[in-house]
Structures are given as C-alpha cells and as structure tokens.
Structure 1
C-alpha cells in the first residue's frame, strides 16, 4: 500500500543536494493527511527520506522545470515534475541532529513532512530555548531559538520598512524576558537597547528602564560623560583637526591632570605607573580650555617675558578668556608670547562653541558626572555602570532620538566603549560579562555602521563582534538596509532573522552571508507577510519560516504606519501649530505648552 505522505523518489544525488522525481499519483497541489491539508512541493517546506532506523530531512529549494537534473533534460523524463531538495539533518532514534551521516540512494522514497514529524524537530524545548513564534506552515508548532548562541554568536534582524522589524525586535526581547505564562525564565537578563528613533519606550516600558535626554516622569536622564569615552575621538569632536605636536601637548596636559587626581587615592584600581590620557578619570574641559587659551593670546610688558600685560583675568567656569592688549607694532610693547604657543586659536573657539551649545549638555555637562574646575565629580564610573547595567529591570533603553545626528557616531562609539571596556576588564567579576552576559541591540545600525563610515561606533562594533563572545558581550544588529552594513560586521553575525526584503542588493547581501545555501528559500523574502521571518544560523536548529508572535495591543513600538483614510475622514478640528514648533525648538516630542520643565 502506498503511504499517503509519499511525494516522490530520489532521482539524483549531488552532495547535500538531491533531485526528486515527483510521484505520478500526486496529482493535486494539496494532500489531505490525517484530516489536515498539506501543500505538495512548497518551496521552504520539509521532506523526509526514511533510511531504516533513522530519517533524513531536507528543505525544498526549487520546484518545476528548472529543478530538472541536467542529465535528464534531453531524455523522455524531461517532462516530469522535479524537486530540488537541500539535506539539512537527520533524526537518530528520537533526537534531531544537524548534518547527515549518510546519503540517500537512487529511488529512495521521499515523503511529505507532517506536523507530527515537525514536532519531533521543534517540539522539544531544551534548556536555554526561547519561544519566539510559530511555524508559518504549521501554526501549532512553536519555534524555539537557542539563547546562548543568539547572544554569544551575535545576530542580525533585517527587513524593509514596514516589514515588522521593530515589532519583531520588541517581541523577541519580551520572549527572552517573559515566558508565555508571564513568569521570568531568566531573572538576571541584561539587555541594553540603543533606540535611535524613540520607538521602544512604550512597548517595553513594563520591563525596561528608559534613559532619555529630556526624560518623562518615569524615565531617567541620559548622560554620557565625555571623560569616560575615547579621548582621541572626544578631542576630534571638540576641536576638529589637530596637528601632531598640538595633540601631543593637549594629551600631556590631560595626563598631568589625571595623574595629579590619581595620586589623591580617591579612585579604586588606579596605578600611576600604567596611567594614560585615556584612563577613565574625570577632568574639567572648561579648565582645559582656559589653560590652553591663555598662552595663545598672552602678551608681555617686556621682551624678556617677565611681567604679564593682562588687563582682565578670565573666568574658566563661564568660559571667558582673559583680556590682553594686542602685540605692539614692530618692536614696541606689549610683546607677543613666545612659549607654549600651539597655534590652535581656531580649534579653541570651536571647543568653546561646543561647550556652550546646549544640545550637547548630555555629554559635555553630564549632571553629577561633570567635574568641577579642580577635576572633582559627585558621581563616578561605578554609578554610571550601575544605572545602565544594574537596574532592577532586565532591559535598559538608551533613547537617542533627541541626539544631534552629527554626533551620533561619536556618541554610539562612546557608549559601546564604556560598556565593552568595563565588561572586558571586569570579566571575572560577578557583575562582569562572563558571569552575567550583556546583549547590545543596535537599532538603525546602517546609520553608523555603513561601509564608508569611519568613526568610533564602527570600530567598537567590529571589536565586539570579533572578540565579544569570549567576554560575554553579544550584539544584535537591526537594519532595513543590510547592503549598507559593513561586511566584517555582518559576516560575524551567526543568526539571521530576515523579514521581507524587496531590494535585490539587500537580499543578495543576506543570501551571501547565510550559512545555508538555500537560494530557493531566500527567494521568498520579497513575499513574506508582515511579521513573518526566515530564521537561520547558529540559534536555529534548521532554517525556519516563522510567524513571529506579536506583542499585545498597546505594547508595540511606535513605528506603525498612520491610518491615512481614518485620519483624513475625521472632521477638521481647531488647530494650534505651536504644538509643532514647540517640540521642535525643545527637541522633545513630548513637549506641552505650559508644562513645567519644558
């Protein structure tokens, strides 16, 4: 008796690719088995090849005339229906294993995979597995991903605008933090999300602490102390291009200030013998500016430079330069300064402008982390790291929507530098990366990780994806333009969650980076439904077409399309356009007229 699941017979074997001659008795595109309907020969669906005591499993990659083996193209069998299958794994006894121990033989039977078969592959929830959705072709089968591999081997969530990318990320993070019954499987979860557009505060507010430049009542202010970021990058942002002698002189001044501070014994872990200008110790930018501007404009009453010609002292706190008379003509007094002049007047003007620009206060005037003129700050690195990584909620969202775009590269690089250096050097501590790993989720990654980008953000992410696994720092790259992401970064992502991608270049980038050569499966990327994804790589047992579980209404990212027809169908109401100009000027979308603190 012919089994109802029989699809065809093996006609050719070429490595992990086999060609299947479809059984003549399968006349319809739908088979009814056990009261359930199954599509016959669906690209992306599984097939089973019995091999005695165990079964081989494969994925249909191609169907129809183009799947016909070359050897059969000029024979009478050319008109028959053929299917190309990629072998992916086998079930030995009751456990599914990736890879195969033997190949099928010619004329071996090939069967449709039923939901009972799929349950054998996906139905067992091993330790460290997270349910993120349901199989697209069998909604009763949950889809699990391996949390260990998802974090340590890095991942990428890729999809065109409107494909459900932000919702997928929110759903994935909620699944990690909370199981389906609302309990916490991983109470020590530690995730930090860089939110470029401010989309996630609403959807994750119950499980996340939000940090924002202009915080709401239940949010905390976002501060990134300049002295904890890379000093070279910080000086480049503050002053622009510096000559080598000027850079060396300025960093020598910074090192001298930090060395004097270190000798006071106030800071743990400081060794004066290994101190560098990059050691994260507070120093005053205002005082540094004052120390640098003075020799640039100084004049003397005599050529021997014994008596200063100063007319009015400066004020470092208010960034007011001292007043000196201009050098006299010819050999007349006052005389121009001849020592310690770096010719950086233009750079110092830019530095002062940056310090006075209120839009950079979160970094250059970071609240309690801003040092006084004598380099003392109320709060130190431990308080900063604890506020980001030690919150009582499993997710910390750094909302960067109010950040000037011109400083985004520097800012993201600074944040990642603080996190990685702390977890790298403290990797053996209970709070370190190895004892309590960190997942860093980077939204809109193409904005600062592009091929042509040359900044601290790209350099730090490259370091994380190359070395982070050993120190407990994982990366999740989220982007709508994978073709613009740096090749080194994308190639290090072990797991891909690919939603609908319409652009040919983006699809090609994903396909070339995938560990499984399943071109037929990848060709379905343009026609995936919203919220549907192909998951492949380290964290998935097999490449999966998955329907991502949607978060509940009211807990979704604020990135949904506006309902144009409903909005335009409403009667036109009285309008006040101060509600547009006010938030723009305040650089705060939650600004309200008359509200305190705006």
Structure 2
C-alpha cells in the first residue's frame, strides 16, 4: 500500500498474539488526517485501525501511543500498540481472528465507510444504544441476544450517567410505540431508590413497599422464602438445636396445611421445610411459645397448669401457673428448647408494620390453618406475566435490615419458577427474562450477611443462560460486587470511574488484551461509556443516547446555586416529621377534607344569538 494513501498510518513492526506494535508514518506529524472531506484524529487511544490482508481486513483498537525518542528511527520514533479484535470479508464483519498480520503490513485509519461495515448490521437482534464518540454519525448497536443471555454489567461512579444509561438501554430494548419494537419484552427491574418510576412510566408496571398513587403494593410471601433465610430474619441467630426446633415446627405446619388444602403439583412425600407451601407464622410462634412457657402439675408431672389459652391471631401467648420450687409444683417443661428470646424477636417482627409487605403479604397471608386467598401463580403473573414489558419493584421504602433477604427471595421465587417451567410457554426458554439489579454492591458483595442474594445471583450468572434468565448488574462500586458474579458478565458498559480499586476490578473482568482501555475511564464524559464484550461487535467508546428530559430517572444532582439564590419560603417542619414517621415522601401533617363538586358548563340565554 502506498504511503501516499490518505488513510495510511504506518507499518507493523511486531506481532505478539493479538497485540500488534505499529511504527507511525512521518506524514502524521500533525495527528490529523483529511479523508473525503472528513477530518480524523489519528493515533488516539481508543481509536480503530484497519490492517488489510488480501481479501480480508483485520480491525483493532489502539490501546497505547508513545515515542522512543530515537531520532534515527524516523518520525521521532512514534509508535502505537493495537489490540486486534475482529475481521471483515466484504461487508460481513465477525469478531475473532482467523489470521494475524505480518511484519511491515500496512496499517490504516478506519473511515466512516469501514465503521458502517462493522456497525451497520440490521435486524431484530440489534439495538441502538448511542453513537461513536469519535464519529457521531455512526450508530453503536449491541446484540440483544448476547446482552441478555450472556449477562451484562453497567458500572460507573455516581454522577457518571449510570441511571440514565440504564433507562436509555431499557428504552432501546423495548422501543415503545416504534415499528419493530419489542412489546413482549419481559424485564424485572429492582429499583432501590425509586428513580425509574417516572422515567419508564409509559411501558412499566410499578410495585412498591410504600405505594404512591398509581403504584401497586409489593408483597413477598414469607412462606416462599427458604427456611434458613426466613429464620435468620425473624428469629436472629440460632444454634443448630434451635434451628432444628423451628424447622421441625415449620415442616409440621406445612404438612398440616398440605393435608387440608390442595396445592397443585405438591406431593406430600416430597415436602421439605423449603417447599413453597403456605403456613401461618403466627401459629408457628404460638405453638413454639406455648411449649416453652408450659408448666405441669400432678403426680406424674404431666398435667398442663393452663390458666389462659391465649390467641395466635393477636399474638397472645398461653398463660400457665408459674413454676414453684420444691416438690409441690407446678414444674417447668424440661423439654423446652431454650428459644424464648428468639420467639420474642419473632413476635416483635410480626408486630412491626415496616415488614408488613413480607410478614403480612395481603391476600397471600395464610390463615391459621395454612389456607390462602391467592397462591404464588397470581404473584408471578403480577410480576412477570402482565401486558407491560417492564416490571419495576420499588424497594426504596424497604428497611436496610431486610433488603438482602428480600432481594434474594424475589430472585429465588422468579428463578425457581422459570427454571422448573422451562418447557412451558411462560418459562424462561420460550419467553426470556432480564433481571436488572440496581445498586448491586449493596446486596451482592459476597459477604456472609449478603449470602442469600449473592448465592442466587451466582446461580443465575452461571446457569441462567440455559434457562432464558439474564442478569444486568448495575453498580457504582464494582470493587464491592462479588468477583464471581462480575466475571460472568459477558458485556460491560463502563462509565467514568475514578477509584483505582473499581478500575482494577473492571480491568480484571475484561479480556487481557483490552486492559489498557481502563486507563480511559477517569476521563470519560458524563453519559459516555466504554462498551466491551459479547454484545459489542468491537470494543468501543460510545456516547449513550439520552432519553427526553421527562423520561430520565430522578437521579440528577440538586441545583445548589439556584436553590440557594432563591428567597426561602418556609413550609413547616411538621410535614418533614410526618414523612419521616410515615416513611413516605408524600405523607402530610394534616388531612384536609376537601369536598370536590363537578362543575358543569351551561350556555347563557344570550349566547348563540347573532
């Protein structure tokens, strides 16, 4: 190739696997090239290059630029390192390499025509997420199939445009009211700050632990949780014998409920303490507490000294005659399990209205005999079976003490249901599901206290692909996300990251030859991302398309200068206190009884006359 070619950059000087060193031509002293009326910045980190190989073209991304300082090498010894990523034959681009370049092969600028060969692919599988940072006329597209089935991660410091990127990406997937959109999408979004309710209102259904007008109440039946997670939440720390006492009682109550109620698909012989069979937690508390406080009289010390039977519905314990010293009795129950402290904690949890969404789950709350008004099929239909493409579970009102258990329980319910129904039309294979996990570092750190959520997400990350369940992990602290989960994310959208620990974790999740791109993360603009992985045709620096202002999440920074420059209008801190106490942002201090009367327009007698 002639060095007079305006696209010519230089020559290959060394090849080490997919890593290629290039000596730059002297004609590039200015760092700018003009080709067919378009101006290109050349030899820029993150830019693309093309290496012709006969009928094929190899494409790579610049990871490093430097100069040797030896004047005898020509052009001041300027060089660059290129990481090869794919090849094209004609108009067909494919990731991976069938061959490597040779020494002195020519290296060229990637023009807009070349970029269109790479990113111009059309089809249902391709979703447009933004434009190239270096050429805003070229759309960046991702493979929807790879994005969902191979999992993904959106990582960026607070203020980098992470939430807006998530909203834009979901809007690009669903493409509401557009021809060729995906109205049958099935996306479950765990929203920890209530940011997305407004942004995705036109194609989502919202469930909240503290519902506002237009939202539905969120219920997660406690009896669908694993026994270990449930007991850890309601009873606190248990030793082995204490855990056995609780587990045996739960198993007994589930077996009793199974004997008096019909639950399709449930074989009594296969019943376990973790089977999703309803049982009354109040009845469980009552019977265990009754056994702990029971006293006996009689010659054989076998006659209960009962004074008041109590009431499980009101969580009133049975009352027995107090035990006395000596041989006269009454006598303590020598078989008691020593779990009275844990039972007191259970009662406290059941009386705490902050946990009603899980311990008193509306129509899913079992009666004392274990019967329920609605079963889990209705819950699943509400979450992932309705006509809207996106379901938002607003967890902003959930106490932090139960957040990890709640997230783990929600994901386990969904995963187990879709896993076991994989051969049915509503299973994950025939109708895949994407689970978007916002603020993932809060419950996926891999620490012991985050075990319930991290365990099921690891299972989704490792096995979900085969059953049509994809994960999208969103976090501002990738260093705190479990390494196993992050390593299973096949596509990474990395926005601005300043913390060196976070950048190191992202670098560890990238292929070895692309680690140099991490050095760009601190200087990315807001809403700009480096996209790498299975869904991207080439590693790319991309400007994510911003949704319309009214469709952006409520995550923007307060306008301090405007707020402080405006004369203060005192509102009264009684309203502040009301919201704090009610744990609802729209709570009011005083309920105003306003009678609204509909006004009907009437035509005056003189109207209509000329």
**Normalising by the residue count of structure 1, what TM-score does the alignment of the two structures yield?**
0.95
Give the distance between the partners of 2:25 and 2:258, measured in 1 at CA: 80
8 Å contact 1:177–1:184 — kept in the other structure?
Answer: no
- Residues 243 and 24 (structure 1 numbering): CA distance in 2 closer, same or farther, change over 3 Å? closer
Q: Name the SS for the 1:278 alignment partner.
A: coil
Q: Is the 8 A contact 1:254 1:277 kept in 2?
A: yes
Structure 1 residue 183: Cα displacement:
3.7
Q: CA deviation at 1:453?
A: 4.0
Instruction: Note if 1:30 corresponds to 2:56.
Output: no
Aligned to 1:350: 345
Pick aligned residue for 1:370 from 360, 365, 388: 365
Structure 1's 173 and 82: CA in aligned 2 closer, same or farther, altered over 3 A? Answer: same
2:145 alignment partner in structure 1: 148
- In the alignment, structure 1 segments of 5+ residues that lack a partner are none
- Deviates most, 416-425 or 260-269: 260-269
Question: What secondary structure is seen at the aligned counterpart in 2 of 1:64?
Answer: strand
Tell me the residue number matched to 1:394: 389
Query: What are the superposed Cα offsets for residues 18-40 of structure 1, whole Å, 9 maximum, x if unpaired?
Result: 22111112231221111111001
Asked whether 1:225 is paired with 2:221, we answer yes
1:343 to 1:547, Cα distance in 2 relative to 1, 3 A: same
Alignment of 1:225-244 (within 5 A): 225-244=221-240
Which residue matches 2:558? Answer: 562
SS in 1 for 2:367: coil
- 2:539 is aligned, of 543, 546, 550, to 543
Give 1:468 shift: 1.0
Q: Secondary structure at the match of 1:25?
A: helix
| Residues in 2 aligned to 1:319 and 1:262: alpha-carbon distance in whole angstroms | 24
Query: Residue 429 of structure 1 is aligned with which of 420, 424, 429?
Result: 424
Q: Whole-Å Cα distance in 2 between the matches of residues 393 and 450 of structure 1? A: 31
Aligned equivalents of 2:422 and 2:212: distance in 1? Answer: 34
1:374-401 per-position Cα deviation (integer Å, ceiling 9, x unaligned)? 1111111101111101121111111111
Q: Is the 8 A contact 1:286 1:319 kept in 2?
A: yes
Say if 1:302 and 1:335, in contact at 8 Å, map to a contact too: no
Give distance in 1, aligned partners of 2:52 and 2:358. 63
State the alpha-carbon separation in 2 of the partners of residues 244 and 518 from structure 1. 49
How far apart, CA to CA, are the structure 1 residues paired with 2:298 and 2:532?
A: 77
| Residues 303, 335 of structure 1: 8 Å contact kept | no
- Residue by residue, what CA displacement relative to the aligned partner does 1:306-360 show, whole Å, maximum 9, x if unpaired? 4322222201100011111211112222222234x11111111111111011111
Mark the CA change 1:152 to 1:142 in structure 2 (over 3 Å): closer, same or farther. Answer: same
CA separation in 1, counterparts of 2:276 and 2:320?
35
Worse-superposed segment, 34-43 or 237-246? 237-246
How far did 1:103 drift?
2.1
- Is contact 2:70-2:77 (8 Å) kept? no
Structure-2 residue corresponding to 1:194 = 190
Q: Is the 8 A contact 1:426 1:433 kept in 2?
A: yes
2:327: which partner in 1?
A: 331
Q: 1:385 aligns with which of 358, 380, 404?
A: 380
Pick from 490, 495, 499: which aligns with 1:499? 495
Cα deviation 1:79-113 (Å, max 9, x = unaligned) = 32111111111111220111222222222221111
TM-aligned CA deviation for residue 173 of structure 1: 0.5
- Pick one of 122, 138, 144 that aligns with 2:119: 122
Change (3 A) 1:78 1:7: closer
More moved, 323-332 vs 380-389: 323-332
- Per the normalisation by structure 2, the TM-score is 0.94
Work out the CA distance in 2 between the residues paired with 1:77 and 1:23. 8
> Where in structure 2 are the equivalents of 1:89-488 lying within 5 Å?
89-178=86-175, 182-183=178-179, 185-264=181-260, 266-339=262-335, 341-454=336-449, 455-488=451-484
Distance 1:332 1:77 in 2: 108
Does structure 1 retain, via aligned residues, the 8 Å contact 2:208–2:395? yes
Q: Provide the aligned length of Structure 1 versus Structure 2.
A: 590
Root-mean-square deviation (CA, aligned residues, Å) is 1.8
